[in-house]
C-alpha cells in the first residue's frame, strides 16, 4: 500500500510540474513553485504516516531475529535482538535465543574443526599412500631397466638425466622416518640409485665432453676429458691466452660442470702449452644423491 501511494505521488509530481493548475484550482495564479510547495507538504505527511505504520516494536524485532535464527543467520539475528530493550517482555525470549545461538555456534565451530582435522588426516593418508606407491613404482622401474640412451645426444638431454636423479633423491628424502615401510622402500631405492649414478655419471661426463667439443669447434676450441672416469675437462683454444676470457668462461660453465661432477676444469692456449690454468670444482661424489639446492 505504501509503495503504491509513493508511486502515485511521483506521478502527481511529474504531471503537476507540467500542468500545475490541473491540481490546484483554488489559486488564480498557479505556477510550478506553488505546486511543489503543496506537493512537499503532502509528501512530508506521507513520510510521517509511513514511519508510524512501519515502525517496529520488540515483537517485530524478535520475529525478524527468529527468521534469521532458523536460517542460520546468527549475525543478523543478533543485530535484530539489539533493538529489544532490557525492560521489554520479549527480552527473556531474546536472551534464550542468544543462548541457543551461542550453543549452536559452539557446536558448529567444533564440527568445522573436526571436519578440518579429518580432512587433514585424509590428505595425509593419501599423501602417504601416494609416496609409498611412487617409491614402489620407481624401484620396479629400475629393476625393469632404465634406458639411459634417452638421456644422450645433447646437453639438454643429459640435464634431463640429472633431473631424473634429483627426482629419485626427492622421493628418498620425502620418506617419513616414522613409517617403517617407507623407510625400507627409501633405503632400497637409495642403494639402487647410488649404484646407477656410479655407473652413469662417468658416461654422462664423457658424452658431455663429446657434445661440447662439437659445439665449440666453430669457436676454435677443443674439449677433452681425462681417461679414467672423465673427472677432468680441458678446454684448449687461442681465446684462453687471455686470463679475462678464462675467468669469464669458467664463471659461465662452473655450475654445469659441477652438476656433472667434474673434479677440475683446465684451460690451455694451445695443445702443448705447459702453462695450464685450472679450477677445482669440489663436486659431490658420483654416489651422492643429486640435489640442486
The helix (run of H) or strand (run of E) holding residue 215 is helix 180-216
* Residue ranges in the chain modelled with pLDDT below 50: none
Main-chain dihedrals φ then ψ at residue 278, nearest 5 degrees: -135, 155
Alpha-carbon distance of 170 to 265, in angstroms, equals: 29
Identify the pLDDT of residue 132.
94
Full-model pTM: 0.61
Alpha-carbon distance of 53 to 50, in angstroms, equals: 5
Identify the pLDDT of residue 272.
79
C-alpha cell recorded at residue 18: 507540467
Length of the chain: 293
Beta-carbon contacts of 202 under 8 Å, excluding residues fewer than 6 positions away, are 229, 230, 286
Burial annotation 76-87 (CB, 10 A radius, 16+ → b, else e): ebbebbebbeee
Strand partners, 221: 237
Identify the pLDDT of residue 48.
63
DSSP 62-129: HHHHHHHHHTT-HHHHHHHHTTS-TTSTTHHHHHHHHHHHHHHHHHHHHHHHHHHHHHHHHHHHHHHH
Q: 212, 237 in Cβ contact below 8 A? A: no
Beta-carbon contacts of 226 under 8 Å, excluding residues fewer than 6 positions away, are 232, 233, 234
Alpha-carbon distance of 255 to 283, in angstroms, equals: 10
- The angle subtended at Cα 45 by Cα 40 and Cα 48, nearest 5°, is 125
Identify the pLDDT of residue 64.
75
Identify the pLDDT of residue 13.
60
Identify the pLDDT of residue 273.
75
Alpha-carbon distance of 54 to 146, in angstroms, equals: 82
Q: 190, 289 in Cβ contact below 8 A? A: yes
Identify the pLDDT of residue 263.
94
Amino acid at each position: 500500500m505504501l509503495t503504491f501511494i509513493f508511486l502515485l505521488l511521483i506521478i502527481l509530481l511529474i504531471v503537476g510540474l507540467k500542468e500545475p493548475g490541473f491540481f490546484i484550482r483554488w489559486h488564480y495564479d498557479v505556477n510550478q513553485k506553488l505546486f511543489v510547495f503543496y506537493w512537499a507538504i503532502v509528501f512530508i505527511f506521507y513520510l510521517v504516516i509511513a514511519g508510524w505504520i512501519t515502525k517496529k516494536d520488540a515483537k517485530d524485532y524478535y520475529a525478524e531475529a527468529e527468521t534469521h535464527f532458523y536460517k542460520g543467520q546468527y549475525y543478523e539475528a543478533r543485530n535484530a535482538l539489539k533493538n529489544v530493550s532490557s525492560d521489554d517482555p520479549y527480552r527473556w525470549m531474546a536472551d534464550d535465543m542468544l543462548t541457543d545461538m551461542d550453543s549452536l555456534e559452539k557446536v558448529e565451530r567444533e564440527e568445522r574443526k573436526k571436519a578440518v582435522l579429518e580432512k587433514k588426516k585424509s590428505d595425509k593418508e593419501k599423501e602417504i599412500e601416494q609416496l609409498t606407491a611412487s617409491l614402489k613404482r620407481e624401484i620396479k622401474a629400475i629393476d625393469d631397466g632404465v634406458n639411459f640412451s634417452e638421456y644422450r645426444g645433447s646437453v639438454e638431454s643429459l640435464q634431463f638425466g640429472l633431473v631424473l636423479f634429483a627426482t629419485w633423491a626427492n622421493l628418498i628424502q620425502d620418506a617419513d622416518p616414522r613409517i617403517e615401510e617407507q623407510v625400507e622402500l627409501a633405503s632400497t631405492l637409495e642403494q639402487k640409485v647410488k649404484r646407477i649414478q656410479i655407473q652413469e655419471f662417468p658416461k654422462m661426463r664423457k658424452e658431455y665432453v663429446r657434445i661440447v667439443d662439437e659445439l665449440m669447434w666453430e669457436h676454435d676450441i677443443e674439449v677433452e676429458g681425462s681417461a679414467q672416469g672423465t673427472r677432468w675437462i680441458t678446454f684448449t683454444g687461442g681465446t684462453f691466452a687471455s686470463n679475462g676470457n678464462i675467468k669469464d668462461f669458467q664463471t659461465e660453465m662452473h655450475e654445469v660442470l659441477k652438476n656433472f661432477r667434474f673434479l677440475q676444469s683446465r684451460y690451455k692456449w694451445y695443445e702443448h702449452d705447459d702453462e695450464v690454468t685450472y679450477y677445482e670444482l669440489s663436486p659431490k661424489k658420483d654416489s651422492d644423491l643429486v640435489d640442486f639446492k
